[in-house]
Each structure stands twice: as C-alpha cells, then as structure tokens.
A and B are shown apart, each in its own frame.
Chain A
C-alpha cells in the first residue's frame, strides 16, 4: 500500500513537471525534429543531468546507495531496432507514451488516440511474441554501463557526459539567440 502511495505521488509530480514544460503539446514535441522548437532536448538533457549528478554526488555523500539503483539491461540489437521504430512513431504522433497521458489530461484528443495505439502495439507484440522471442532476447549484455564498457572511473564518465550535455544546451541557446 505504501509503495502504491509513493507510485501515485511520484506520478503526480512527474505529470505536473511534463505539463509545465509544455510536453503535452504535440506540435511542440514534433517541432524538435524540424529544429524549430528545442523544448524536448532542453528538458531531457536538464533532467538527465540533474538526476545523474544527484545520483553521483548523493551516493558520494552517503545520502543514499546509488550503486543499488536499477540499471536497465542492454540488448544491443533489440534496443537499436526498437529505437528506430519508436522514433518513427514519435514523429508521427508528436507524443511519447508518458506525454500522451499529459496531452489527454490537458484535453487534447491526440493524447487518447496515441494511448489507444500504444495499447494496440503492445497487444500485437504480446500476441506475436512466440515468433519474435528469439530476436527479443538477442545480443544480451546485462546491466552494462558506460563506465563498465569503457573502463573509465564513474566520476570521469559523469564529468564527460556533463560537459557534452552542457555544450549541446549552450549550442541550442546560441542558435536561438541568432536574429
């Protein structure tokens, strides 16, 4: 029960943050792919930087055990192909799974249409699963991290990702400042 209270509370905060950022608005999200609205990249990079640095420094300072945080397993080919199919769907809908809920909550009909499509797509995968299971389980690498892959220390990878992400954000700011 306590778990589900946390789930609901985290969800409310998650939904409010996405809505405030404007990520319930399909033309705004699609605008990222036409380089005319950079909200998606700005929000994703700022959020990722905050959580990555928070996890690193919180772990260093002993606030929590960040080494126990769940790292998704890497399945090279399924994730590569999954990303390509997902990106195609993203530009058709102008929404992703989380933001489709935000769009519906703000009264946008596309949100409901995208949510129905998502349910249908996942039903299709479940029904076809015996046929695609071998591909689904192909090229497994377990919970591989960038520091595990490169052999660099955790702190160095965090510093490199920080520099790259801030450079991208600075490039976007410079591009937008142009008359």
Chain B
C-alpha cells in the first residue's frame, strides 16, 4: 500500500479552524455544530414514518417547528463538511477506502463504532451539543456548560481508555 500523505501541522490547522469558527460567529451570530444535524435528520425520519410519535416528543418537535428538518442550517452545513473534507482528502492524496483499524472490517470493531455513535448521540442530546457545537463553539464564548462538558468528556475518555485498549492496537 502506498503511504498516506502527511497531515498539516495541528496548530496551524487549529488556527484555520478557529478562523472558520470566528467567521461563522461574525456572519450568523452562532457557532459551528454537528450533532444537531443528526438530531434534525432523526426528527425528519420519525415525522415521515410516524407523525404521531414525532408529535408526542417535545425533542422531535423542537427540530420540526422551523421549516423542513432536511434543509435546516446545520444539515446544510454538515453536507458542506462532507464535501469540504472529501475534496481536501482527494486533493491531498489521503482518500483511501478502507477500514482503518484492521485489514478487514471485523464485526466486533464495527460494532464498537456503532455503539460509540449511539453513546455520543445520547450524550450530545443531553448536553445540547457535541465537541463542535458545545465544547469548541461554546468554549470560545466562555460558556460554563461548554467547559463542564469538555471536562467530563475528557475525564470519561481517559478513564475508559484502558478498558477498551484492545480496540486500538
């Protein structure tokens, strides 16, 4: 296999990310986000499958009240993320269709990815944001909740890491 091209310096990439966040604040008054797009799409799916179920939950309703959940600001932003990352990876020669953790996808490791996603979905819903929307964007405007979330997420990550050591050889 050809080696992947190396990444940019993390400090420099971080400054660029910070400037994108600042531009987002200046243009829209709000920060970046990610988990909200998944919540919006989940609400859209439920309202198509079972409108009564969606109406019964104040959580789904909150994503359905301002127009279509499929064209919410944050959903369009995440479509942009997919495009921007795909173009950047392709231009830099870093695209490779693969399962990174093993030569072949193993059911156990694929399950770990899905389970991690489920837990992060629950955590982000309770916290009202994820690493992008709450930790980074809220942290930059010095929100107390953002710093609490950042602290407990790293705490849990460091405590749990030795227990799932075999996932990351």
Contacts and interface: CB of A to CB of B under 8 A. Distances in A.
Interface of A: 3-4, 6-22, 24-27, 30-34, 38-39, 42-52, 54-55, 58, 63-64, 66, 68-76, 78-110, 113-127, 129-130, 133, 135-136, 141, 143-149, 154, 157-158, 161, 169
A112 B146 CA distance: 27
B156 A12 contact: no
Interface in B22-77: 22-32, 34-35, 37-39, 41-43, 45-46, 53-54, 56-60, 71, 73-74, 76-77
Interface residues of B, number: 124
**Which 4 A-B pairs have CB atoms at the shortest separation, nearest pair first?**
A117-B117, A11-B80, A121-B121, A50-B18
B14 A14 contact: no
A162 to B, nearest CB: 12
Given A79-B127, A98-B132, A125 B121 contact: yes
A106 to B, nearest CB: 4
Given A14-B84, A110-B99, A50 B14 contact: yes
A126 B68 CA distance: 17
Contacts of B167: 30, 92, 94
Contacts, number: 510
B103 interface: no
Given A82-B125, A109-B98, A146-B142, A55 B89 contact: no
Contacts of B164: 91-92
Interface of B: 7-8, 10-32, 34-35, 37-39, 41-43, 45-46, 53-54, 56-60, 71, 73-74, 76-89, 92, 94-101, 105, 109-110, 112-158, 160-161, 164-165, 167-168
Contacts of B165: 34
B32 A14 contact: yes
B41 to A, nearest CB: 6
Secondary structure dominating the interface of A: helix
Contacts of A87: 123, 152-157, 160
